[in-house]
Chains A and B, each alone.
Chain A
Amino acid sequence: MDLLSQLQRQLADFTASLYREGFVDDQFTQLQKLQDESSPEFVVEVVSLFFEDCEKLVNNMAKALEQQVVDFKQVDSHVHQLKGSSSSIGAARIKNVCIAFKTFCEAQNREGCLRCLQQVNHEHAQLKTNLQTLFTLERQIVANGGSIPAMQ
């Protein structure tokens, strides 16, 4: 087996595992479908934007939760934003955490919120790593003259 097909195989397996483990969902596939000749780096751009956004939001939430009197409304709005973003790109796990986060916010449960925030951080980091791996693999394939197979 030559390098290209090996790489492709690797990519396919990796992507499948990502889906299996719920890191990404169908929306991510859709996102990938949007990538064409006119916007070749579409997915990368979106994902980067997402991660930036995510970090910002997490920081804001942390700050808000550290206050003596927590403004749950503000936290809730941040969570909402995060949820929206994550569902837009298909970050399934983060989205799910956000849903739980929202419930805690509504219940004005500080502990719960903090816990969720930690989870968000964790997931964020994981996803970032995973996607970076993915992109690297893709780049390698392209560099080796292959094309990225379309997802089903």
Chain B
Amino acid sequence: MEVSQVDVKQEFGFLRFYYGQHVKRGIFATEGLPWCGGVRFFNYRENSLKMESCNCIEPQWPAEELLMKYQYISDFFIALAYFSIPLELIYFVKKSSVFPYRWVLVQFGAFIVLCGATHLINLWTFNMHSRTVAVVMTTAKVLTAVVSCATALMLVHIIPDLLSVKTRELFLKNKAAALDREMGLIRTQEETGRHVRMLTHEIRSTLDRHTILKTTLVELGRTLALEECALWMPTRTGLELQLSYTLRQQNPVGYTVPIQLPVINQVFTSNRATKISPNSPVARLRPIAGKYMPGEVVAVRVPLLHLSNFQINDWPELSTRRYALMVLMLPSDSARQWHGHELELVEVVADQVAVALSHAAILEESMRARDLLMEQNVALDHARREAETAIRARNDFLAVMNHEMRTPMHAIIALSSLLQETELTPEQRLMVETILKSSNLLATLINDVLDLSRLEDGSLQLDLGSFNLHAVFREVLNLIKPIASVKRLLVSLNLAPDLPEYAIGDEKRLMQTILNVVGNAVKFSKEGSISITAFVAKSESLRDSRAPDFFPVPSDNHFYLRVQVKDAGQGINPQDIPKLFTKFAQTQTLAARNSSGSGLGLAICKRFVNLMEGHIWIESEGLGKGCMAIFIVKLGIPEHANEPKNRFLPKASHGQTAFPGLKVLVLDDNGVSRMVTKGLLAHLGCDVTTVSSSDECLHVVSQDHKVVFMDVCMPDGFEAAVRLHEKFTKRHERPLIVALTGNTDKMTKENCMRVGMDGVILKPVSVDKMRSVLAELLEHRVLFEAM
């Protein structure tokens, strides 16, 4: 066919290159596909188109065109990329182990490879190419199409999965991040807790206030890496806070700040740790050095608890009390900030410190109380020992004095009784009798001084016996009349007609009581009369309003004797009446008088009366109105009114054998004296053995001998006594040793006492004297006669 020569460019506008072997410039047919179904040539020179048939497929576009060139290059690179992608995939999948979609990868790889192959083969179609190439090309394309469709279909399933994997991954990452944060938080909290525990342990390990506070500051400083830590305590007045402890400075000199500062109030009103300005007075602990930037400051209140704050059921009210201020400063220039957990730590520590301080305070208190008790204990013990010593001393004193007082008493009594037996005029006789009676009374009194101490022990017992009651009163009257008449006082005795004549009781002590009471009446009266009334108390008069504690119980065997002694003397202030019966107590009025009494009398009387199951009291209307002493005692009624032996006046007993069978030993070197003494004792009924030397004495003496009479004018008289003491170590086995001596000097008596004689008798000895001596000896086991 003839084709006109037309400019290709003009006709079609583009060039296409085809992969193929032949690429010719020519005009393409407008119809049909430009493949190398034949060879079309264009003979430029001839301007004719000739069709030759060849198997080559002609590319659609001329191969030399620029566009074709670019296509060619791009195809090459695409193929290259397409081949390298699966290689890379394989490499990285091999590297990782967790890729779940391997077969997808394979598929995808195949797809890519085929695409690459397609593009590669396309390279050959830009020029004329043979049919085989076209076939290969086609196959590749078909395959590619198949695989890619399959892949596309597969991806529909895969991509959502992959996407979800991605979302899960994201979610997990978020979760991990959150957990990390939480972990961090927990760790910080645990850290804080550990610090608090450690701090608390440090604080609680001591009960000393200073150590507690110091340790707190030190530990806090260390834990929180503080620059400075300070504690301000309230002063005693409560108006100021004083700097008490700091971390860095050793001895803070007392800076004080007033407590009413707003910043302090702010801190005190909240129980949280509060940030305060570094320039506030409590935080300015160091002189500002100028250029540095102070670190943040936090302050917290520390409640100071007292023992009184702790009620049983509720925790102390925090509104009431005093607080201390703890100020903590972070290091300057560090740009550190207070974190929440650090503030919490500080608050907890402040509370712990409060508790520890209160414990310390309680402990101090109890230690102080214990020390006080111990002191008191020591003092009490001391006082008790002193009291015991005093009592012992008193007892010793009493015993000695008693002994010393008895001795002259016995002398007076003995000599008076001797005197009584001599020739006397009636007046003299009366006088001697009075002397004797008085001295007997005195002897009794002396006994009673010792008795008083026994009274207080409660060991005194009444000597009950039957006696003549009327006689007792008469005796008292007789005794008191001389003294009363000197003072021109009239004494009258009024005995009730129904008063029994005889009664059973302690005659001596009753007499003593009456005498004391009457004596007081006489003593304290300057003028007037004294009346003594005695009668049997009937039940109405027994119960007296003035004796409310007295509950008498009348019975058949007993009666109550009531004695009233009225005087018109000084009288007693009613307020002083209770004191009267106290030992040694004297009122002003009593003491002002020249009274020689020791104040013992009424006290003894009271005790005697009490022993007699009675009651004694004094009534007085006031000073100058006289007084009346009343006492009631219980006495027994004797069964038959026999004449009792009058024990008050020692009368000679009629029996000669007063001491039947009493074994005695007489030691005397003078034969005559020996015989006389033997006769004397034999006359009294004793069983007498005589010896003339101390050797013989010791040889003969035995436990049966009750008394040994020895003449101490013998050369070895005292020696015998000593040897006797040695022989009989126990007092109750030893016979009583009595010295007979004509010596009237004190030396002899002292010597006798020294060797432990139980008695000394002055020679000559009358029968009566010997009788009474023996009686006395056997009763009291001691007899010392004055020289």
Q: Do A and B come from one complex?
A: yes
Q: With A30-B680, A36-B683, A46-B672 in contact, do A80 and B767 touch (Cβ < 8 Å)? A: no
Stretch of A62-70, A82-90, A104-112, A123-131 on the interface side: A82-90
Interface: A31 (CB within 8 A): yes
Indicate which residue in A30, A42, A81 contacts B766 across the interface (CB closer than 8 Å): A30
- Set of chain B residues within 8 Å of A45, measured between Cβ atoms: 675
B655 to chain A minimum Cβ distance, whole angstroms, is 13
- The CA-CA distance from A86 to B766 in the complex, in Å, is 15
Measured in the bound complex, the distance between the Cα atoms of B765 and A39 in whole Å is: 19
> B656 touching A88 by the CB < 8 A rule?
no
Do B675 and A84 have beta carbons less than 8 Å apart? Answer: no
Q: Which residues on the B side are within 8 Å of A89 (C-beta)?
A: 672, 676
Residues of B within 8 A of A36 (CB): 656, 683
The reply on B188 being an interface residue by CB < 8 A is no
Q: Is the CB of B683 within 8 A of A87?
A: no
Within the complex, the shortest CB–CB distance from A139 to chain B, in Å, comes to: 20
Q: Does B764 contact A (CB under 8 A)?
A: yes
Q: Verify if A50 is at the interface (C-beta below 8 Å from B).
A: yes
Contacts of B675 in A (CB 8 A): 45-46, 49, 88
Partner of A88 from B670, B682, B767 at Cβ < 8 Å: B670
CB pair B671 A31 closer than 8 Å? no
CB within 8 Å for A83 and B682 given contacts A88-B672, A89-B676 = no
Select A42's contact among B656, B679, B763, beta carbons within 8 Å. B679
Interface set, chain A 22-51, CB cutoff 8 A to B: 26-27, 30-31, 33-34, 36, 38-39, 42, 45-46, 49-50
Q: A26-B764, A30-B766, A46-B676 are in contact. Are A85 and B683 (CB under 8 A)?
A: no
Does A13 reach chain B (CB closer than 8 Å)?
no
User: Is B672's CB under 8 angstroms from A39's CB?
Assistant: no
Q: Is A53 an interface residue (CB 8 A)?
A: yes
**Distance (whole angstroms) from the CB of A124 to the closest CB of chain B:** 13
- Which of A26, A34, A81 is in CB contact (< 8 Å) with B679? A34
Contact call A81/B682, Cβ cutoff below 8 A: no
Residue of B nearest to A91 (CB): B672
Q: Is the CB of A88 within 8 A of B673?
A: yes
> Which B644-689 residues have C-beta < 8 A from chain A?
656, 669-673, 675-677, 679-680, 682-683
* Count of chain B residues near A, Cβ 8 A: 21
Complex Cα spacing A30 to B683, Å = 11
Q: What's the minimum C-beta distance from A61 to chain B, rounded to whole angstroms?
A: 15
> Among A26, A31, A80, A81, which residue has its beta carbon within 8 angstroms of that of B676?
A31
- Residues from chain B with Cβ under 8 Å of A88 in the complex: 670, 672-673, 675-677, 763-764
Q: How far is the CB of A128 from chain B (nearest CB, A)?
A: 14
Shortest Cβ distance from B46 into chain A, in angstroms? 213
Known: A81-B670, A85-B670, A85-B671. A38 touches B764 (CB 8 A): no
How far, in angstroms, from A128 to B669 measured CA to CA in the complex? 23
B713 beta carbon closer than 8 Å to chain A: yes
A42 CA / B677 CA spacing, docked (Å): 12
Are the C-beta atoms of A33 and B683 separated by less than 8 Å?
Answer: yes
The reply to whether A38 and B763 form a contact with Cβ atoms under 8 Å apart is: no
Q: Which residues of B contact A81 (CB under 8 A)?
A: 669-670
Q: Which residues of B contact A30 (CB under 8 A)?
A: 680, 764-767
Whether the Cβ atoms of B672 and A85 lie closer than 8 Å is: yes
B475, chain A: closest CB distance, angstroms = 28
CA distance A38 to B711 in the complex (A): 26
Q: B672-721: which have CB < 8 Å to A?
A: 672-673, 675-677, 679-680, 682-683, 711, 713
Residues of A within 8 A of B519 (CB): none
A48-B527 Cα distance, complex, nearest whole Å: 67
- Provide the residues of chain B in CB contact with A85, threshold 8 Å: 670-673
Are A50 and B672 in contact (CB-based, < 8 A)? yes
Rounded to whole angstroms, the CA-CA distance of A45 and B674 in the bound complex is 12
B670 touches A34 (CB 8 A): no
Q: A36-B656, A87-B764 are known contacts. Are A49 and B683 too (CB-CB below 8 A)?
A: no
Contact with A39, one of B677, B679, B766 (Cβ below 8 angstroms): B679
B679 & A49 in contact (Cβ 8 Å cutoff): no
- Residues in B with CB closer than 8 Å to A26 are 764, 766
From known contacts A36-B683, A39-B679, A46-B679, infer whether A84 and B766 are also in contact, taking CB-CB under 8 Å: no
**B763 shortest CB reach to chain A, Å:** 6
Bound form: Cα–Cα A88–B675 in Å: 9
A71 to chain B, nearest CB (A): 15
Are B679 and A53 in touch, CB under 8 angstroms? Answer: no
Cβ–Cβ contact B713 & A87, under 8 A: no
B742 within 8 A of A: yes
Q: Which residue of B lies closest to A25 (CB)?
A: B764
28 A-B residue pairs with Cβ-Cβ distance under 8 Å, sorted by A, are A26-B766, A30-B764, A30-B765, A30-B766, A31-B676, A33-B683, A33-B767, A34-B680, A34-B683, A36-B656, A39-B679, A46-B672, A46-B679, A49-B675, A50-B672, A53-B670, A53-B671, A53-B672, A84-B711, A84-B713, A85-B671, A87-B763, A88-B670, A88-B672, A88-B675, A88-B676, A88-B677, A89-B672
Further 16 A-B residue pairs, CB within 8 A, beyond A27-B764, A49-B672: A26-B764, A30-B766, A34-B676, A34-B682, A34-B767, A38-B682, A45-B675, A49-B671, A53-B671, A80-B713, A84-B742, A85-B670, A88-B673, A88-B675, A88-B763, A89-B676
The 3 A-B residue pairs whose C-beta atoms are closest, nearest first, are A85-B672, A88-B673, A88-B676
Chain A residues in the interface with B (C-beta under 8 A): 26-27, 30-31, 33-34, 36, 38-39, 42, 45-46, 49-50, 53, 80-81, 83-90
